Structure 1
């Protein structure tokens, strides 16, 4: 079961696990272009936001400009990396995208509630509902 509230250290570990999967997959299939995008910014040298943002930007560029070179599974893994990375750096997700762990709506409600000075009301339904 997916843990919706990971601390930043665990989130970075999860990003590393996903990158290892992509690395192994692209090495086996000899996909050089996606591998070049990944190796440009990974392995992460630390838990700093700059390195994580660089990884998110590279994976985002890969998904945007090299879509034909990615399979469905690879694309999902890359988007999951992007979602986790954006959670760490505090950058909002692009409109229409959900968070890597499927809790995009909940995160948006929490951010809006915090900006308005209200306490967020999070329920199980928020995690299970799709886009509003």
Structure 2
């Protein structure tokens, strides 16, 4: 018997939420490592505002979505191609799951 938790966003099986969270954390970790390697202080400051993800609450996802969207909006020229790809991938995953007010 599968247990489901009810959230405002959607009814999602617990294992799917854990997989989603782990996948997002993996993508964010790769992005963080790239920022560290390049010593991209501004990008690191943005990233540290919303990551690491420690829970699967919608507010956590919204904060990460808004933070990375702001990073791309205001500092996209400072991102390399890999970072642009990773942020686009993360934002896409977040937008598919999170509704913004």
TM-score interval for Structure 1 and Structure 2 normalised by the shorter chain: 0.7 to 0.9
1:25 is aligned to 2:34 = yes
Give the structure with higher Rg (CA). Answer: 1
Q: Which runs of 5+ in 2 are unaligned?
A: 1-14
Greater length-normalized contact order (CA 8 Å, ≥ 6 residues apart): 2
Q: Is the 8 A contact 1:49 1:89 kept in 2?
A: yes
TM-fit CA distance, 1:70: 0.3
Query: What corresponds to 2:18 in structure 1?
Result: 9
1:86 is aligned to 2:95 = yes
Instruction: Indicate the RMSD between aligned Cα atoms, in angstroms.
Output: 1.6
Query: What corresponds to 1:59 in structure 2?
Result: 68
Q: Which runs of 5+ in 1 are unaligned?
A: 1-5, 92-132
Normalized per residue, the structure richer in helix is: 2
TM-score for both structures, normalised by structure 1: 0.61
Query: What corresponds to 2:52 in structure 1?
Result: 43
TM-score for both structures, normalised by structure 2: 0.78
